[in-house]
Chains A and B, each alone.
Chain A
């Protein structure tokens, strides 16, 4: 693999609980505009050869906008005219994955990846119910919350984790979010606050659960040659991994994510990482529900299987710990699904560029970004970012 790929610029909107002043398209334009201003890039149809954006990858899903081919309403706001455009209908990490692979293919040089979602415009459980197979699971009335509750219970029973362990994750991430200018303004919380918050589906309580959010994010991914011209601090994507699990909840051992371990292994192998606990300086992990940060940390090999509770108690994943997790505040502090993986990629990028302000992890050189798509994390995507290009494999 001789080609290299890097992230050269990111842009985000704030992520409030509800943004009624902007339409979906205006929200998207906000980040596209920021990117164009930051990089000075033009689109391929606007130049006669030379450095330019030569593909646009948009990350969104039709169900969330209530119309088929929903990105048609958004193309001008992503600069789509006369361009190569594609939509990835999965979490944002998967769009970054696709963009990075397209650069590595040699077929493209600079790709603009965008994502937007306004969760406040609809009711997520009515959408999520349709993610389950229509014959067996959907009629049971599942949504991602109730499926997650099953998984959380299984996880607790398998390894003896407690609701307090999960609550600690929420407390940690909400505290981190205070230093993230894109996160919404909200009070810090205590474990007691979490434990006393409204029970949604045992053991998941209100404060264990990702709140509704609106927002957009954009990232520019570029080849080595282009990256060098666009920034003096490119952040290299050195590892990429993705993996599907089975769909039927009964076919899966919910307390252990085989698919995540495989996906992570693919990313680690590509990045040449042998010991993730030592070699990774910070991680952004999908924490749609608080227990997930711990379960996925195990699948990523950041702690031993079943030891998620000990991990959170150890302080290793705290902001001043050895391997801070979710310095952005994570989904628990309010990120729209779909956009989340991109927003977390943007956070990792800012950290490695040394631009994370008060939440900066000192000396961060290697970061891991993780995202999921599908119920109970059926599909996982792992991206490794590094300040350096990494060895040529």
Chain B
């Protein structure tokens, strides 16, 4: 081509905004309503392999069968549990709109809630920043927001706190 290449690389900027109104569906609605209204965490149980599934789900991923919405398939879990993994990140928190880094988040805690089995693990956050305080086997307790502040999300639990039992 005979044109001189431009000195600047032009960019067309755009911010994509996609509004969503996502339905939680029957099973997650039950799960979140219990969290919001009763401060309780519920899971359901596969009738074939008896895994306790958290969050509750319409199908057992392993057996590929329906876990029907029947009283005998629901399991109420304790809000206390045992740490399986604590993941500290030296990375920083990401703003989901801009993708920019904004601050350091609390470590992620994976908690096997009492009343569940080896598959019943809730991912949440630890109260304190020091990962070494949450070794595998440490006992933790959910600290809830007061009922009037709860909205039916997992952030209705503020964080998990170490307990001395």
Do the two chains touch directly in the complex (Cβ atoms below 8 Å apart)?
yes
Q: Which residues of A contact B (CB under 8 A)?
A: 19-26, 29, 32-33, 36, 43, 46, 63, 66, 75-77, 79-81, 118, 120-123, 126-127, 130, 134-135, 138-139
Q: Is the CB of B26 within 8 A of A21?
A: yes
Also in contact, A122 and B64, with CB within 8 A (given A25-B58, A134-B12):
no
Restricting to B29-84, which residues have a CB under 8 Å from any CB of A?
A: 57-62, 64, 66
Contact with A along B9-34 (1 / 0, CB 8 A): 00010101111111111111000000
Chain A residues within 8 Å of B12, by CB: 134-135, 138-139
Q: Is the CB of B59 within 8 A of A23?
A: no
Q: Is the CB of A121 within 8 A of B22?
A: yes
Also in contact, A25 and B64, with CB within 8 A (given A77-B58, A127-B18, A130-B16):
no
Which of B17, B25, B59 is in CB contact (< 8 Å) with A76? B59
Q: Is the CB of A20 within 8 A of B14?
A: no
> Nearest chain-A residue to B16 (Cβ)?
A130
Q: Is the CB of B19 within 8 A of A122?
A: yes
A292 to B12, CA, bound (A): 32
| A/B interface sample: 29 pairs, CB < 8 A | A20-B23, A21-B26, A23-B24, A23-B26, A23-B27, A23-B28, A24-B22, A25-B57, A26-B25, A32-B59, A33-B59, A33-B66, A43-B64, A46-B64, A66-B20, A66-B22, A76-B59, A76-B61, A81-B61, A81-B64, A118-B23, A120-B21, A121-B22, A122-B18, A122-B19, A126-B19, A134-B12, A138-B12, A139-B14
Which of A66, A121, A127, A138 is in CB contact (< 8 Å) with B23? A121
A139 to B10, CA, bound (A): 14
> Nearest chain-A residue to B64 (Cβ)?
A79
Interface size class of B (residues with CB under 8 A): 20 to 34
Interface centre among A76, A80, A121, A135 (most CB of B within 10 A): A76
Given A23-B25, A126-B17, A135-B12, 15 extra CB contacts under 8 A: A23-B23, A23-B26, A25-B25, A25-B58, A36-B64, A46-B64, A75-B61, A76-B59, A77-B59, A81-B62, A120-B21, A121-B21, A123-B19, A134-B12, A138-B12
Interface centre among B28, B64, B66 (most CB of A within 10 A): B64
> Nearest chain-B residue to A76 (Cβ)?
B61
Which of B16, B18, B21, B26 is in CB contact (< 8 Å) with A26? B26
Report the minimal beta-carbon distance from A19 to chain B, rounded to whole angstroms. Answer: 7
Chain A residues within 8 Å of B27, by CB: 23, 26
Chain A residues within 8 Å of B17, by CB: 126
Q: Is the CB of B59 within 8 A of A29?
A: yes
A126 to B14, CA, bound (A): 12
Report the minimal beta-carbon distance from B51 to chain A, rounded to whole angstroms. Answer: 12
> Nearest chain-B residue to A36 (Cβ)?
B64
Chain B residues within 8 Å of A43, by CB: 64
A345 to B18, CA, bound (A): 30
A163 to B88, CA, bound (A): 63
Q: Is the CB of A22 within 8 A of B26?
A: yes
Report the minimal beta-carbon distance from B7 to chain A, rounded to whole angstroms. Answer: 19
Q: Is the CB of B60 within 8 A of A121?
A: no
Also in contact, A134 and B23, with CB within 8 A (given A29-B58, A33-B66, A81-B64):
no
Q: Is the CB of A66 within 8 A of B58?
A: no
Which of A76, A134, A135, A139 is in CB contact (< 8 Å) with B57? A76
Q: Is the CB of B14 within 8 A of A19?
A: no
Q: Is the CB of A29 within 8 A of B66?
A: yes
> Nearest chain-B residue to A120 (Cβ)?
B21
Also in contact, A138 and B64, with CB within 8 A (given A25-B58, A29-B59):
no
Q: Is the CB of A63 within 8 A of B64?
A: no
> Nearest chain-A residue to B14 (Cβ)?
A134
Chain B residues within 8 Å of A21, by CB: 23, 25-26
Chain B residues within 8 Å of A118, by CB: 23
Chain A residues within 8 Å of B59, by CB: 29, 32-33, 76-77
A359 to B121, CA, bound (A): 50
Q: Is the CB of A121 within 8 A of B64?
A: no
A139 to B16, CA, bound (A): 12
Restricting to B105-143, which residues have a CB under 8 Å from any CB of A?
A: none
Chain B residues within 8 Å of A79, by CB: 64
A43 to B27, CA, bound (A): 24
